[in-house]
Structure 1
Amino acid sequence: MIEIDKEIFREMVKFYGEAFHLPPLAAKIYAYLIFDFDRKGVSFDEFVDIFAASKSSVSSNLNLLLNLNIIKDFNKIDERKRFFVMNEKYMKIRFQEIIEKMDRELLILENLKKFRNTKCEVALQKFDIYTDLFNKNISNIKETLDQL
């Protein structure tokens, strides 16, 4: 069993549940896996015991997390059991998706600007400020991802 801090765990469950739009059990599983600092993995049966949840609930929530690429599974050579760990590449995947969304929004805004075809300096200045903010954030995220 992994040692956790219950207060931090509760805070993480709430945060990740909201941030990733996860059901409560999936958020608990993910938060619990974050405490697996040695990345030894947690088995299916351990999750059933730890959270006193049905096998079907644990199974469906693990599958959700796997499908979202938030966690990964693996088998140990000497065991048939599957073990689950958090996907260390997930943050990179998540921020890459954020960049893609910001790029798409910039394209939409540019098309809207062309369609509107305004000469209003105030509107054009606001547009430039908004697009500059997007571009700076995209650049900052890309630079940080390159460092990971």
Structure 2
Amino acid sequence: MDCCSEEKRKLIEEIGVRFEQVHQLAPLAARIYAIMILSPKDGHTFDEILNITLASKSSVSTHLNHLLQLKKVEYFTKTGDRKRYFRTSTYYLKNTLEEYHASVSEELRLIDKIIEFNKNNNNQKFQSTGQIALLFREYLSSQRNNIENVINKMSKIEI
């Protein structure tokens, strides 16, 4: 990645590794996404992304298209310029929270089923350890409410 300072290269790598884990992105897609997050609002052209990543045209194209489909990246054009410029989606942080919200909601749905099943079918187990599951459910519910509040606040901010 011949794009920037050593500090920025390290941060791109650190963010990229995290995005591989959290968003299940391929390594190159995660690095491209990190580059977009750390880039100015006017974005990068395809050729600039090629130069930064030192990856093949087909690999960059494939991963950029995947990021576009996931709505993590968007493109725009400039008047009088035929090139496409890529940047993070205007609402990438809101989109990320919405993904977390869906994940927490699914976890809540499953913990409710587990609690109900153990309550009805494993009453002794539920009596001895059910409070832990109920505390976990309370935590997840609180997380979901917090995420919803932040998403609502973000929705009110005009960009």
- Secondary structure at the counterpart of residue 79 of structure 2: coil
The normalised TM-score by structure 2 is 0.79
| C-alpha displacement of 1:134 | 0.7
| Structure 2, unpaired ranges of 5+ | 155-159
Find the aligned partners of 1:107 and 1:69 in 2 and give their Cα distance.
26
- Structure 1 CA distance for aligned equivalents of residues 27 and 110 of structure 2: 35
Say if 2:16 and 2:34, in contact at 8 Å, map to a contact too: yes
When the two structures are superposed, what TM-score results if normalisation uses the length of structure 1? 0.84
Give 1:92 deviation, angstroms: 1.4
Shift >6 Å, 4+ stretches: none
How far 1:80 moved relative to its partner?
Answer: 1.2
> For residues 107 and 54 of structure 2, what CA distance do their matches in structure 1 show?
43
Report % sequence identity.
29
Equivalent in the alignment of 2:151: 145
Contact 1:2 1:35 in 2 (8 A): no
- The CA RMSD over aligned residues, in Å, is 2.2
1:90 pairs with 2:92: yes
Matching residue of 1:56:
58
Match of 2:17 in 1: 14
**1:58-73 alignment runs, 5 A limit:** 58-73=60-75
Q: Does 1:128 align with 2:130?
A: no
Q: CA deviation at 1:20?
A: 1.9
Q: Check if 1:26 corresponds to 2:29.
A: yes
Deviates more, 1:95-104 or 1:119-128: 119-128
Q: How far apart are the structure 2 equivalents of 1:122 and 1:91?
A: 41
Distance 1:50 1:111, change over 3 A: closer
